[in-house]
Amino acid sequence: MGLMRLLPRPHDRSRHAVGSSGDVAEDAGDAAVIPVDDAGTDDARGAGGDIAQPIVPAPAAAAADGASNLEVIALANQKGGVAKTTTTLNLGVAFSELGYRVLIVDLDPQGNLTMSQGMNPDSIERSMFDVLVHKVPISDVVERREVDIAVSSIDLAGAELALASMIGRERSLEKALVEVRDRYDYILIDTPPSLGLLTINAFVAATGVIVPVQCEYLSLRGLVQLENTLAMVRENLNARVGVEGIVATMFDGRTLHSREAIEILEENFGDLVFRTRIRKTVRYAEAPVKGSSILKYDPTGAAAEAYRELAKEIRVKREAEAAQGASGGT
Ligand code: ADP
Ligand code: MG
C-alpha cells in the first residue's frame, strides 16, 4: 500500500525490502503511536535489514562539486512539534558552514522559523503571503540573518484561501523561486503542520522532501498520509519529487521507547532513515529564544554537531546517487 510508495526514488530503492511494509501500513491505524506492539510489525521485522552505507566525510565546499546544483528540500510532516522548523534552520546553517549558499523559506503562518532568527512575524510588512498571492518577488521578503530567510507573517494564514481560487495555485512557490535559483545551492522550505495548499506548494517546488519524525510519537499512519499526498503531487505536478530521507528527532537513547521507534522506522523504511539521529535536548528550545541556530548558540555542543552530521550525511547520500546516475547504474 502507501508505504511502498514512500520509497519512491527509483534509483535508490533497488534493494529495499518493501514486501511487508504494506501490512504495517494497514495495521498501524490511527493510533500508531510508539510503543507499537499492535502495529503488526512481526513479519516486517528483519525485512528492511539492508540499510545505508556508512557515513564518509563530506566535501568541504560547494565549489568543488558544481555550485549550480540547486537542491530544494521541503521539510514536511503534517504533525506539529516534530522539529520541522528546528531542522530547517539548523540544517540550513549547517549547509552554510560547509560553504553552500542557503535560503530558508518560512511557509508556516505561525512564523516560528522567522522568530527563530530573531524577527517578529507580527511586525513584518511583506512576507511569503505577498510572494505567493500578490507575486511580489521573493527577494523582497528575504532577510539576511545567519542564512538568508524568506519570512512569514500571520497573513500567510490567509494564503490557502486566497490561493484556492487562483489558476496555478499549486505552482505559486515554484514560480517565485525561479528568480533566486542561481543564487543558492540549497533552498530549505519549512512547512505548516498540514498537508494543505502551502505544503503542496512546497512539494511542487521541491527536488526532495525530508520528513522529521519525533521518536516519541511515531505515527506510521501519518507517514502514509504524507506519502499519499506526495504521490498525487508526483503524478500531477512534479514527477521528480520524492522522500529524500526521514530524520528521527527528539531521540533519547536511554529509553526503550526511542530505540523502538528507530527500529520500526528502519524496518519500514530501511535506508531512507538517516543514520544521524537528533537527540532530545533542551538546547534546541533555548536557541530560538536567542534568535539563533543551535550552531551559533552552542557551536561546540553535541546538538550543533548532530545537524552538521546530518548535513554531511545528506551530501554523501546525494553524491552516491549522482555517481550511480552518472555510471548508469541501477
Ligand atoms: P515543528 O516545526 O515540527 O512544529 P519545532 O521545530 O517547532 O517543530 O519543534 C517543536 C518544539 O520542540 C520546539 O520547542 C523545539 O525547540 C523543540 N525541539 C526541537 N527539536 C528538539 C530536540 N531534538 N530535542 C528537544 N526539543 C526539541
Ligand atoms: Mg514549525
Residue 68: what pLDDT?
Answer: 54
List of domains in the chain: 35-44+62-326 (3.40.50.300)
Cell numbers at 53, concatenated: 552505507
Lowest mean pLDDT among 15-19, 121-125, 179-183: 15-19
Confidence of residue 249 (pLDDT cuts 50, 70, 90): very high
Round the average pLDDT of the chain to a whole number and report it.
Answer: 84
Q: State the distance from the centre of ligand 1 to the C-alpha of 55, rounded, in angstroms.
A: 25
Q: What percent of the chain has pLDDT over 90?
A: 75
pLDDT tens digits, one per residue of 25-64 = 333 333 334 433 333 333 333 333 333 333 333 333 334 4
Of all atoms in ligand 1, which is nearest to the CA of residue 77?
A: 3
Residue 55: what pLDDT?
Answer: 31
Lowest mean pLDDT among 41-50, 96-105, 153-162: 41-50
Helix axes 84-97, 302-326, angle to 10 degrees: 70
Nearest 10 degrees: CA dihedral of 224, 264, 34, 88?
A: -60
Mean pLDDT within 61-88: 81
Asked whether residue 203 carries a pLDDT value surpassing 50, the answer given is yes
pTM of the model: 0.83
Lowest mean pLDDT among 24-38, 186-200, 289-303: 24-38
Nearest 10 degrees: CA dihedral of 285, 289, 291, 296?
A: -50
Rounded Cα distance between 90 and 113, Å, is 10
247 within ligand 1 shell (Cβ under 6 A): no
88 within ligand 1 shell (Cβ under 6 A): no
Q: Among 284, 294, 295, 305, name the best residue to mutate to test ligand 1's pocket (greatest count of ligand atoms within 8 A of Cβ).
A: 284
Q: What percent of the chain has pLDDT over 70?
A: 79
Q: State the distance from the centre of ligand 2 to the C-alpha of 109, rounded, in angstroms.
A: 9
Residue 330: what pLDDT?
Answer: 53
State residue 278 phi and psi, 5-degree precision: -95, 110
Residue 321: what pLDDT?
Answer: 87
250 within ligand 1 shell (Cβ under 6 A): yes
* DSSP structure class, residue 28: H
Rounded Cα distance between 181 and 210, Å, is 20
